[in-house]
Structure 1
């Protein structure tokens, strides 16, 4: 079956503009939009994935933020911004800086208005509705941040869905047949000599199994 793989879409114009649309709209809810810190919170991964396994996630995430901010600046939005990583679990080190630690630092530095942007999340779920909206919001307010806002996940935003559809359409001409390695038995079935040997010994074994009860019964009489 023909298959085409879309390796990434974080840099696609439709995605970038969709994110910029949501951010600019949410900034309007602040009494002083230009003073709000745009806080990108991305899902983290263990540091070993990046440093040892060579996962490009960190570089892609940073480029994604750069492109979103570039789009916002083209619209006259020049707010300060930062990127941090959330949702770490276990004892191993994950990508830094950590969202919870950065929120505390921003509060200590005197940031009063903050707009949280769940980037790398495309739908609402526990890591946005509970982790960001409840845990991080509470932490931010406790740390001195007074005005909190949060950009919704893209979900089924028409411009985002249209861009994903365009990505699929663009990838269709590149589709190629995906082959799967043949098993030893499949190779044997396509080799006439091996197939004949296989059938001979299979038939011989079936003959022995079929007639062995009769032979044993004959010997016992």
Structure 2
């Protein structure tokens, strides 16, 4: 049979590469990280982050003059200095990158009982990117992919924008892999147990007992909540379930919100204002945990462990401690394993 005839009946040309299929990918995704603390790296990262319509929902006509005229000229230097304080100097990268890579590596080892499963990681902003990693998984033969935004509580500015970016990448593919997106797991028993155990373990290592423990979640503008974002409700449920698991009176575990930006009103009470008020009101011993963050990062290490601790001590507090995030700990990996194994059902 001639080459022309072979092609006519559907045979592939001899130079056509072999098609790899029958693997399942797992892509864990965190918020993002700059490549360095220098001005250019910070500006590039902040530009990608702050031009996302899911993050800043203001009109572009109003927001862009502020962003490009003021914010991207002043904020990179300030944020870069903050990153320098918590930079992983051994690996010359942010701890968020370190922990996310470790989580991916460990999850791959944990799922070694399923040889068809391939685990990788990406960042919504910065590198490695979601499109690049989705393409790499597809090229490796993954015709089914579980996309795991590492946010226990759903917010349009976090979970939804990860999903948006992934589906946008699929729009450019002729042969798209099947895609599953992991739902929020704010009330999953494995997650609640891990957070409660981390609090118990950390307090057991102290020579003092906190009077108050704050669960500080990243804030969102109040307007996002009023538009129907479920984030606030899911944060409150997480805190309630953790408090019940610990057997504490509800007054001992308080919910606050941090990291507000811009002139809008955000979810309240604000973490920094609450820390200051409690110190002024006579609270001497306090712990803070960030249940909404899977990995320690700028917002936990610099803003809470650093700034919030300073505010508390400067206004009359005597003992302050930050409970680390689950990171790549055994209990943290157990949470990720539980979620991923559930979402892989029917595929492996």
Q: Give the TM-score normalised by the residue count of structure 1.
A: 0.72
Q: Secondary structure at the match of 1:119?
A: coil
Higher helix proportion (structure 1 or 2): 1
Other structure's SS at 2:217 match: strand
Greater relative contact order (Cα < 8 A, sep 6+): 1
Structure 2 counterparts to residues 91-110 of structure 1, below 5 A = 91-110=263-282
Coordinate RMSD, CA, aligned: 1.7
2:246 aligned to which of 69, 72, 79: 72
Whole-Å separation in 2 of the counterparts to 1:68 and 1:15: 9
Unaligned runs of 5+ residues in structure 2 are 1-176
- 2 CA distance for matches of 1:29 and 1:154? 16
Specify the alignment match of 1:127 in structure 2: 299
Question: Is contact 2:295–2:327 with CA below 8 Å preserved after alignment?
Answer: yes
State the alpha-carbon separation in 1 of the partners of residues 338 and 294 from structure 2. Answer: 17
**3-state SS of the aligned residue for 1:82?**
strand
C-alpha distance 125-59 of structure 1, shift in aligned 2 (>3 A): same
Correspondence for 1:26 among 160, 179, 202: 202
Unaligned runs of 5+ in 1: 176-221
- Does the 8 Å CA contact 2:256/2:268 hold for their aligned counterparts? yes
Match status 1:60 vs 2:234: yes
User: Is the partner of 2:181 in helix, strand or coil?
Assistant: coil
In structure 2, distance between residues paired with 1:63 and 1:150? 21
* The one of 85, 89, 97 aligned to 2:257: 85
**Quick check: 1:42 aligned with 2:217?**
yes
The runs of at least 4 aligned residues of structure 1 exceeding 4 Å deviation read none
Structure exhibiting the larger radius of gyration computed from Cα positions:
1
| 8 Å contact from structure 2 (residues 216, 271) kept in 1 | yes
Aligned counterparts of 1:161 and 1:41: Cα–Cα separation in 2: 22
TM-score (structure 2 length as normaliser): 0.46
The answer to whether structure 1 residue 163 and structure 2 residue 339 are counterparts is no
Rounded to whole Å, the distance in 2 between the matches of 1:18 and 1:134 is 24
- Quote how far apart the aligned CAs of 1:174 are: 6.5
Match of 1:51 in 2: 226
